[in-house]
């Protein structure tokens, strides 16, 4: 909108230097390529506009069907075929399509700018392009034809792109039936700008294009390798809900038709389910024009003729387009090879009137990251429970880099609670889990991490911190991809969901999305910020009046501790540690502590060292180890009587750990900072009626002070 306003105010049209000179076009189709405006290519261009249609009615339904068919017709064999298939599938949901393809006009308020939106790692990114489209002259008569639609001397050229009338068509799409619609060419240009090259149109998949245009959870199924019972379960679970289903098969020669009329390589949108004769499951698909289904249950087939007239009327009345047809489930699995499911979240369900008749998914979204030394625990081990491994390895010899067996319990963990319900679905809840790792458009697949998740069942009545078994459920899944999505049916109960990377100590951000078809509670396993056992208060006794005048600053305390450090520390103290210990005893901010409190401080340090030794183990000479894994910090704090939240633990690791290693001095300093933060918060909370600072905020400020 800002670009449009600027152009109208300045009187200049949009010119995007990136799109004009720096765009990278496929080398195979780069012969005699130039940029032309739509008005130079055709005299009457247009672009789809659903903005004026605000509610579901017969007129809108007709427009949506026509536009969907138009996109389906020219999406096949185009350079951006996957992108056209995704746009065609979203044409059934006009509001969602308009979000990715905002309405524009070549007449009203036209400035040569087109804005598109793509979903990238949980955020919508705006991409603005000008109206110059790459085209090339390939025919002997000098007219411009598409890159993928060659001259009549080779493959057939679209009817509107013959060399007789001098029409030009964009280079990147085969617009056989919609030659005036520039929706897909402009969308392809914006997609190429987002990814850095037109080659991205060739390399992308239908699933990726669907995700980037819809923002939903996209799940891909291989119909050939998937058990039919599982495919049937997925279809029955997704079809009645706010999910878009797109089926396609392997590509074949251009212009070819399958044995029963279907076009190889083209996508068909699943629009509904029906069951006839109490046993046969039928699927209603939407087909591109010119590729009708000629097999069983097609009009005129023996199965169709055997239906009762009443049943035929019911099936015909549910179709929205003459291109719709019915196919049996068995023929569907035998004919198509891939099924893409776009699970739309509850917010988009409210936005899209076309989905209001379906039941919405319930969604939970969490943005987290794996950080080395804190929660980058790696994959689960077959012999270790994710909740108990923190203490199980105390007797192991510590190395610089722990194995995944010893760090699995540090991964982010989420509890999924499915309550008992009454009715037909009382024994199962369909759950879709998606783990999306951070990525940038145009990023090479080789740079992606292998990520996934593990799912564990908790015993009834067991606490969140109780280990339940050695192996995760079969629903666990991982892969080297931007998204790892899995569908499962879970009985009522409590489950532990653990997102993880394939290797430990690997950092990266991820987005976790959990969809359920029934009410369910999902929350992250976390601890409160508490002083469970205040060892410092227990050791603080009454002061002797004769010794209250003597004070120790950080330097004096360091000299005193150097004489007694073997009884309470693992190494001679530094000046920074002594400053933190002085702050622990300096409630009046005088920069010093009373000398009479030194024995209590020594006893406190001895108690903290004993807690350290119980978790980190003993050293070679019988003393406590000087270093431990930073993955053990939660257990180290618990042994010292302190409970910390995940955010505070992450801050502590960033502040005090070095290379996933934590020294005893850093551990003591972290405990001192935590005790000071709690004391400052209690003091501030007592003085103010309404404390604007939370305890966690106070702790985070204290840690980085």
Q: What HEC string does 408-455 produce? A: HHHCCCEEEEECCCCCCCCCCEEEEEEEEECCCCCCCHHHCCCEEEEE
Same structural domain, 634 and 509: no
Between 683 and 18, the higher pLDDT residue: 683
CATH, residue 629: 1.10.238.10
The average pLDDT across 613-630 equals 76
Between 558 and 254, the higher pLDDT residue: 558
Could you say which of 506, 525, 544 is where a domain stops?
Answer: 525
Whether 612 is in a domain gets the answer yes
Could you say which of 505, 525, 545 is where a domain stops?
Answer: 525
Whether 4 is in a domain gets the answer no
Asked if 79 contacts 29 with a C-beta cutoff of 8 angstroms, the reply is yes
- In this prediction, residue 316 has a pLDDT band, given cuts at 50, 70 and 90, of confident
Residue 515 CA to residue 487 CA, distance in Å, equals: 9
State the DSSP code for 98: H
Asked if 472 contacts 387 with a C-beta cutoff of 8 angstroms, the reply is no
- In this prediction, residue 140 has a pLDDT band, given cuts at 50, 70 and 90, of very low
- In this prediction, residue 91 has a pLDDT band, given cuts at 50, 70 and 90, of confident
Q: How many CB atoms lie within 10 A of CB 319?
A: 16
Could you say which of 525, 546, 571 is where a domain stops?
Answer: 525
Between 486 and 544, the higher pLDDT residue: 486
Whether 9 is in a domain gets the answer no
DSSP reduced 3-state for 82: helix
Average pLDDT, the chain: 77
Same structural domain, 426 and 470: yes
The average pLDDT across 421-433 equals 77
% of the chain exceeding 90 in pLDDT:
34
Q: How many domains, the chain?
A: 4
Between 403 and 433, the higher pLDDT residue: 433
Same structural domain, 52 and 170: yes
At 8 the pLDDT is 59
Of 150-164, 319-333, 688-702, least confident by mean pLDDT is 150-164
Whether 351 is in a domain gets the answer no
CATH, residue 397: 2.60.120.380
Whether 47 is in a domain gets the answer yes
Between 15 and 600, the higher pLDDT residue: 600
Whether 497 is in a domain gets the answer yes
DSSP E strand stretches across 338-383: 338-343, 362-370
The average pLDDT across 221-235 equals 89
At 290 the pLDDT is 54
Same structural domain, 652 and 699: yes
Same structural domain, 459 and 333: no
Residue 662 CA to residue 665 CA, distance in Å, equals: 8
Residue 66 CA to residue 183 CA, distance in Å, equals: 14
Residue 504 CA to residue 257 CA, distance in Å, equals: 49
% of the chain exceeding 70 in pLDDT:
70
At 49 the pLDDT is 46
Asked if 270 contacts 358 with a C-beta cutoff of 8 angstroms, the reply is no
Between 557 and 254, the higher pLDDT residue: 557
Same structural domain, 221 and 207: no
- In this prediction, residue 443 has a pLDDT band, given cuts at 50, 70 and 90, of confident
At 476 the pLDDT is 66
The average pLDDT across 399-422 equals 74
Same structural domain, 147 and 207: yes
Residue 131 CA to residue 366 CA, distance in Å, equals: 38
Whether 244 is in a domain gets the answer no
Same structural domain, 616 and 698: yes
**DSSP-H helix ranges across 474-574:** 535-539, 554-568
At 364 the pLDDT is 96
Residue 512 has pLDDT above 90, yes or no: yes
Same structural domain, 206 and 232: no
Q: How many CB atoms lie within 10 A of CB 599?
A: 12
Asked if 670 contacts 678 with a C-beta cutoff of 8 angstroms, the reply is no
CATH, residue 221: 3.90.70.10
Domain extent, residue 131, equals: 14-214
State the DSSP code for 21: I
């Amino acid at each position: 909108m800002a670009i449009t306003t600027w152009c109208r105010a300045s009187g200049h049209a949009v010119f995007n230097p990136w799109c004009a000179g720096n765009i990278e076009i496929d080398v195979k189709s780069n012969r005699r390529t130039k940029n032309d405006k739509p008005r130079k290519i055709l005299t009457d261009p247009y672009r789809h506009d659903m903005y004026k249609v605000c509610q579901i009615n017969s007129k809108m339904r007709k427009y949506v069907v026509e536009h969907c068919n138009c996109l389906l017709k020219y999406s096949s064999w185009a350079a951006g075929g996957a992108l056209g298939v995704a746009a065609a599938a979203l044409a059934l949901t006009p509001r969602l399509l308009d979000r990715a393809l905002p309405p524009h006009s070549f007449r009203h308020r036209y400035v040569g700018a087109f804005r598109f939106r793509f979903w990238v790692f949980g955020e919508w990114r705006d991409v603005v392009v000008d109206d110059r489209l790459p085209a090339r002259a390939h025919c002997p008569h000098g007219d411009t034809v598409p890159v993928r639609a060659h001259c009549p001397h080779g493959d057939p050229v679209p009817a509107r792109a013959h060399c007789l009338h001098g029409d030009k068509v964009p280079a990147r799409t085969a617009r056989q039936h919609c030659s005036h619609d520039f929706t897909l060419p402009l969308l392809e240009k914006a997609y190429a700008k987002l990814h850095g090259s037109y080659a991205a149109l060739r390399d992308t998949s239908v699933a990726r294009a669907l995700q980037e245009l819809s923002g939903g959870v996209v799940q891909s199924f291989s119909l050939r390798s998937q058990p039919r019972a599982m495919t049937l379960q997925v279809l029955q679970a997704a079809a009645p809900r706010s999910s878009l289903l797109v089926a396609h098969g392997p590509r074949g020669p251009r212009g070819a038709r399958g044995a029963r009329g279907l076009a190889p390589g083209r996508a068909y949108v699943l629009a509904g389910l029906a069951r006839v004769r109490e046993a046969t499951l039928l699927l209603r698909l939407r087909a591109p024009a010119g590729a009708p289904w000629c097999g069983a249950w097609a009009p005129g087939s023996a199965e169709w003729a055997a239906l009762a007239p009443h049943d035929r009327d019911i099936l015909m009345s549910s179709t929205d387009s003459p291109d719709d047809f019915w196919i049996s489930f068995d023929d569907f699995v035998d004919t198509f090879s891939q099924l893409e499911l776009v699970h739309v979240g509850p917010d988009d369900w409210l936005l899209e009137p076309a989905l209001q008749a379906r039941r919405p998914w319930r969604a939970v979204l969490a943005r987290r990251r794996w950080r080395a030394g804190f929660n980058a625990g790696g994959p689960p081990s077959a012999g270790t429970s994710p909740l108990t491994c923190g203490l199980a390895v105390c007797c192991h010899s510590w190395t610089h880099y722990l194995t995944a067996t010893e760090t699995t319990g540090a991964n982010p963990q989420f509890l999924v609670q499915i309550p008992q319900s009454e009715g037909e679905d009382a024994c199962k809840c369909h759950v879709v889990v998606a783990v999306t790792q951070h990525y940038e458009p145009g990023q090479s697949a080789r740079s992606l991490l292998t990520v996934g998740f593990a799912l564990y069942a908790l015993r009834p009545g067991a606490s969140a911190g109780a280990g339940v078994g050695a192996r995760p459920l079969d629903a666990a899944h991982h892969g080297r991809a931007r998204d790892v999505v899995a569908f499962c049916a879970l009985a009522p109960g409590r489950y532990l969901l653990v997102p993880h990377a394939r290797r430990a100590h690997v950092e990266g951000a991820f987005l976790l999305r959990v969809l359920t078809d029934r009410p369910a509670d999902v929350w992250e396993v976390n601890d409160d910020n508490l002083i469970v056992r205040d060892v410092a208060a227990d050791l603080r006794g009454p002061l002797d009046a004769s010794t209250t005048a003597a004070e120790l600053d950080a330097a004096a305390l360091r000299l005193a501790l150097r004489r007694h450090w073997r009884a309470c520390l693992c190494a001679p103290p530094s000046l920074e540690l002594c400053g933190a210990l002085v702050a622990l005893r300096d409630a009046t901010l005088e920069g010093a502590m009373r000398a009479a409190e030194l024995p209590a401080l020594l006893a406190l340090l001895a108690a903290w060292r004993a807690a350290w030794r119980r978790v980190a183990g003993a050293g070679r000479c019988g003393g406590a180890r000087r270093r431990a894994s930073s993955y053990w910090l939660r257990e180290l704090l618990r042994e010292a009587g302190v409970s910390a939240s995940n955010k505070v633990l992450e801050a502590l690791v960033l502040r005090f750990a070095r290379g996933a290693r934590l020294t005893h001095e850093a551990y003591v300093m972290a405990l001192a900072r935590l005790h000071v933060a709690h004391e400052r918060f209690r003091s501030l909370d007592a003085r103010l009626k309404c404390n604007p600072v939370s305890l966690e905020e106070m702790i985070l400020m204290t840690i980085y002070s």
